[in-house]
Amino acid sequence: MKIASPKGTRDFYPEDMSLQNRLFSVWRETALLFGFEEYEGPAFEHVELFTRKSGDEIVKQLYNFKDKSDRELALRPEITPTLARMIAAKGNSLKKPVKWFSIPRVFRYERMQRGRLREFFQFNLDIVGEASVSAEAEIVAASVQTLKGFGLSPADFRVCVNSRRLMKEMLMASGIAEARLDAAYAILDRRSKVEPGVLSEMYKEASFSENDIRAIEDIFSLTSLQAIRGRFAQSQGVDAAAKELEDFFGLIKNYGISECVIYDSSIVRGLAYYTGIVFEIFDTGKTLRAIAGGGRYDSLVALFDGEETPAVGFGMGDAVIAELLKEKGLIPSYTKQTKVYIVNFNKESLAPAIETAALLRSNRIETEFALKPQSPKKQMETAQAARYVLFVGGEEWDKGQIKIKDMKSGEEKTTCKNDILQHLVF
Amino acid sequence: MKIASPKGTRDFYPEDMSLQNRLFSVWRETALLFGFEEYEGPAFEHVELFTRKSGDEIVKQLYNFKDKSDRELALRPEITPTLARMIAAKGNSLKKPVKWFSIPRVFRYERMQRGRLREFFQFNLDIVGEASVSAEAEIVAASVQTLKGFGLSPADFRVCVNSRRLMKEMLMASGIAEARLDAAYAILDRRSKVEPGVLSEMYKEASFSENDIRAIEDIFSLTSLQAIRGRFAQSQGVDAAAKELEDFFGLIKNYGISECVIYDSSIVRGLAYYTGIVFEIFDTGKTLRAIAGGGRYDSLVALFDGEETPAVGFGMGDAVIAELLKEKGLIPSYTKQTKVYIVNFNKESLAPAIETAALLRSNRIETEFALKPQSPKKQMETAQAARYVLFVGGEEWDKGQIKIKDMKSGEEKTTCKNDILQHLVF
């Protein structure tokens, strides 16, 4: 009987893996380009690591279990709590700010839908220990460079930026109590994604008064920082938060990426732990879910017994970006990489094929041959993707010779086997 | 309160991750050199995938759990059952033989000891669909090249080879019943690792008779293929199995690696599923546990409802090889990679630093700068590892100039900022 792979997981056959490796290599190269260093953590953690950050509700979305010594563990749904734990563990011995990246595999027990999986890879960038908006700007610039690295143009996507701090100041200046802010954020995060009727229901369920609702909706009619400053001219808090966003956009201009980074009052981010600037990246036209998201979270490290530490982070899953790249035709087609293919056509050609392959491989040339003799015709199919095809064995081999076929020019020549390396030019 | 990482797991800080990436890149490069293609599977599978291969006993060593829909799942302790499942799923549409590799993270709930972890990475090479010993030889050659790729010399390690088929034929020719073979292999796998007294106990516990024990021990007094052939001259089965091993060693000679690949009658491999040639790699002197191991397993794919398919595989964990490389001083020390460091020394130098970094990064040059202005002296510490250090801002910047310090020669010069790329040679 066949056994299936678990629901929400993927098998990566070589052609699928080639796409994954493309994602990983652009992520890694971009992170290094910006001076981020790679880290990793365990695939599972004590459940408490996740509930302390996100509350007990998070357990619903976890693959959680007891190990054989009754430890309460869970597969990580994200790596940020691990990062905070690792930073807290090092205390002051770590020179701040740190710029770290990771490509963790993460696990979420979620209802299945397009672009959502229960197991996926996520690119994470974090700057920990820098309070100024230059950290946000550096992270956003790295995220833009990542998308460019895949061959996307700035016209293909938008980085939509808002500020939790600005929202907080506006909401409080409008009479919303500080204790109600998290409830408001949770609704506002869904605001542009649901029908107006559903939105009303959500407000009611969360017990917001008619006055509250009017005040909140009034804020969302302001679509520019200028309009916000006009409306809240009396509030020093709004002024300072707007100034911070303006400083951020000033740095974005220095990075030369203003054309694809915009202010967007609808960006809230669902998670309670963001404290400052937040952002999400969408394909232009928003036909897909968010490609990536992130923001400032200054209180997390302290939650794990570290010192209060400013931090900015960013995460990009592998599913949505892969969809977008497929749509844009930016995924290179897969062919098995072989620089040299050696034809093994009879019992006597295996030994020469092995000896030749050993020579080439020890010179770092990717080389393949048929492990069992086959007709040359059958092998030429496999050999099509190679740069050179070699024929070894028979009388030629006994005379110390090898026949080379250049698969680019179609040219064939016979050479002394000791000189073979000189004839293989890549 | 601090939360620790789970027992048997590791936090990879950047310096640790740099070692992991060194392992991964040598593994990956060698696999590609030999024409293997990369695949991956889910981190967890239905428990049955593992019990069908290894029996219910394996559950003791698994991180197994029920998901929220009561599916019985387990973190993978190895990737071979996933490989067999994936091959079986494709049936005949997959052109054989396939040569695949993977670097899965695997999980084992084991008692902790030196070089053993509950979560580790394992390099896997498999050739599926080739019955001849050229598959074993290709896998062994790739494993030798892997160790050479780390900078080890053939004198540093031994690939110790035996044959399950040969053992089976010898044991049966000596009167051991076929039904007792797996019990015998389990003991023989421990034979060279335990005291003689313990060995006697194991024989007794498994109900082997005095005659059986004498016959088995007699076989182990034969340490060469020649001696074996002499002792079992009457047995056609032993003859054929010995011939197969000799063919294998013939190919090993063609690969030019005879000096580090030897026959070793003590190699058995614990797992029941091996059917032919088996091997383990040890550091010379065997001061560490096995670095790697593998062998032929012709019956596994059929177990997952695929056709009977010959297969040879190999696995190398990250822990023992890392220990050996540390012992030999073959682990490069870690320094953060930065090609260019830009000094950001006051409020006015941030914008020029960002503009310059953006230019260099878009030209694929790894570039760093301080996100907050700092004294140049403090930054020169950080800048030590860079190839070039740039000074931007102030009067020079206003005049369109940048000062460059070449950290190799110590030379300093001032150049027009538009020409900066020409002056950075790597």
Q: State whether A41 and B6 contact (CB < 8 Å).
A: no
- Chain A contact set for B25 (CB, 8 A): none
B-chain residues near A73 (CB < 8 A): 6, 63
Q: Least CA distance to B247: which residue of chain A?
A: A351
Helix (H) or strand (E) holding B219, with range, is: helix B210-219
Chain-chain contact of B5 with A45 (C-beta, under 8 angstroms): yes
Nearest Cβ partner for A254 among B49, B351, B366:
B351
Tens digits of per-residue pLDDT, B123-149? Answer: 999 999 999 999 999 999 999 999 999
Is B32–A337 a contact, with Cβ atoms under 8 angstroms apart?
yes
Of A9, A119, A354, the CB nearest to B251: A354
pLDDT digits (tens, 9 = 90+) for B216-232: 999 988 889 999 999 99
* Chain A positions in Cβ-Cβ contact with residue B248 (cut-off 8 Å): none
Q: What's the gap in Å between the CA of B204 and the closest CA on chain A? A: 31
**Cβ(A96)–Cβ(A143) below 8 Å:** no
Chain B residues with CB-CB distance to A1 below 8 A: 305
Are B350 and A2 within 8 A, CB to CB? no
Name the residue among B3, B97, B250 with its Cβ closest to that of A46: B3
d(CA B356, CA B402): 10
Instruction: Please tell me the CATH superfamily of domain B14-327, with its number.
Output: Bira Bifunctional Protein; Domain 2 (3.30.930.10)
Determine the topology of domain B340-423 in CATH: Rossmann fold (3.40.50)
Q: Nearest 5 degrees, angle CA A356-CA A357-CA A358?
A: 90
Smallest Cα distance from B89 to chain A, Å: 8
Mutate to test the interface with B, among A354, A387, A388 (most CBs of B within 10 A): A354
Is A138 close to B42, i.e. CB distance below 8 A? no
Fold agreement between B14-327 and B340-423: no
B-chain CB neighbours of A361 within 8 Å are 33-34, 145
Q: What is the DSSP string of B144-205?
A: HHHHHHTT--GGGEEEEEEEHHHHHHHHHHTT--GGGHHHHHHHHHHHTTS-HHHHHHHHHH
B361/A34 Cβ within 8 A = yes
Give the closest of B138, B145, B351 to A371, CB-based.
B138
Of A3, A32, A338, the CB nearest to B304: A3
Q: Picking from A312-321, B79-88, B105-114, B202-211, which range would have the lowest pLDDT averaged per residue? A: B105-114
To test the contact with chain B by mutation, choose from A2, A3, A356 the residue with the greatest count of B C-beta atoms within 10 A, namely A3
CA distances in angstroms from B274 to A254, B54, B278, listed in the order given: 62, 11, 7
CA of B358 vs chain A CAs: smallest distance (Å) = 6
- CB distance B18–A38 less than 8 Å? yes
Q: Is the pLDDT of residue B390 over 80?
A: yes
List of chain A residues with pLDDT < 50 = none
**From CA B168, how far away is CA B147, in angstroms rounded?**
31
How large is the ipTM?
A: 0.94
Rounded CA-CA distance B297/B313 in Å is 8
Interface size, chain A vs chain B, as Cβ–Cβ contacts under 8 Å: 245
What pLDDT score does B112 carry?
66
Give the closest of B39, B364, B371 to A138, CB-based: B371
Which of A2, A7, A11 is the mutation pick for testing B, counting most B CBs within 10 A?
A11
Q: Give the residue from B1, B5, B132 with the most A CB atoms within 10 Å of its CB, the best one to mutate.
A: B5
Per-residue pLDDT reduced to its tens digit, B239-268: 999 999 999 999 999 999 999 999 998 898
**What pLDDT score was predicted for residue A131?**
97
Residue B166: pLDDT band with limits 50, 70, 90: very high
CB-based contact A366 B13, cutoff 8 Å? no
Contact partners, residue A141, CB within 8 Å, separation at least 6: A34, A252, A255, A257, B358
**Amino acid residing at B170:** M
| Residues on chain B touching A337 (C-beta within 8 angstroms) | 32
**Among A305, A359, A313, A275, which residue's Cα sits nearest to residue A126?**
A313
Quick one: tokens of A382?
Answer: 């496999």
Query: B329 vs chain A: nearest CA distance in angstroms?
Result: 22
The CB density around residue B272, as the number of other CB atoms within 10 Å, is 16
Quick one: which of A31, A46, A267, A292 has its CA closest to A161? A267
Alpha-carbon span A14 to B101, nearest angstrom: 9
Rounded mean pLDDT, B110-134 = 89
Chain A residues inside the 8 Å CB shell of B247: none
**Does the beta-carbon distance from B43 to A137 stay under 8 Å?**
no
Alpha-helix residue ranges (DSSP H) falling in B55-163? 80-90, 134-149
Residue numbers in B near A134 (CB within 8 A): 350, 354, 371-372
Mutate to test the interface with A, among B2, B9, B10, B13 (most CBs of A within 10 A): B13
Q: Between chains, do A71 and B145 touch, taking CB under 8 Å as contact?
A: no
Helix axes B14-33, B134-149, angle to 10 degrees: 140
CB B15 within 8 A of CB B334: yes
Q: What is the mean predicted confidence (pLDDT) over B274-298?
A: 95
State the DSSP code for A43: S
B358:A141 CB<8 A: yes
Residue in chain B nearest A37 by alpha carbon: B14
Alpha-carbon gap, residue B287 to B191, rounded angstroms: 17
CB A424 within 8 A of CB A365: yes
The domain spans of chain A are 340-423
Q: Do B145 and A354 make contact, defined as CB atoms within 8 angstroms? A: no
Cβ within 8 Å, pair A43-B45? no
Residues of chain B neighbouring A254 (CB-CB closer than 8 A): 350-351, 354-355, 358
Residue A316 pLDDT = 98
Contacts of B82 in chain A (CB under 8 A): 5, 11
Q: Do B35 and A107 touch (CB under 8 A)?
A: no
pLDDT of residue A56: 86
Q: What is the pLDDT of residue A114?
A: 63
Is B14 within 8 Å of A371 when comparing Cβ atoms? no
Cβ A39 vs Cβ A86: under 8 Å: yes
Label residue B380 by pLDDT band (50, 70, 90): confident
Chain A residues lying within 8 Å of B305, measured CB to CB: 1-2
Answer yes or no: do B371 and A134 touch at CB < 8 A: yes
Strand partners, A261: A159
Distance from CA of B426 to the nearest CA of A (A): 15
**B222 half-sphere exposure, CB direction, 13 A CA radius:** 18
Distance of CA A311 to the CA centre of its chain: 18
Alpha-carbon gap: B45 to the closest alpha carbon of chain A (Å): 6
pLDDT digits (tens, 9 = 90+) for B297-315: 999 999 888 889 999 999 9
High-pLDDT (> 90) share of chain B, %? 81
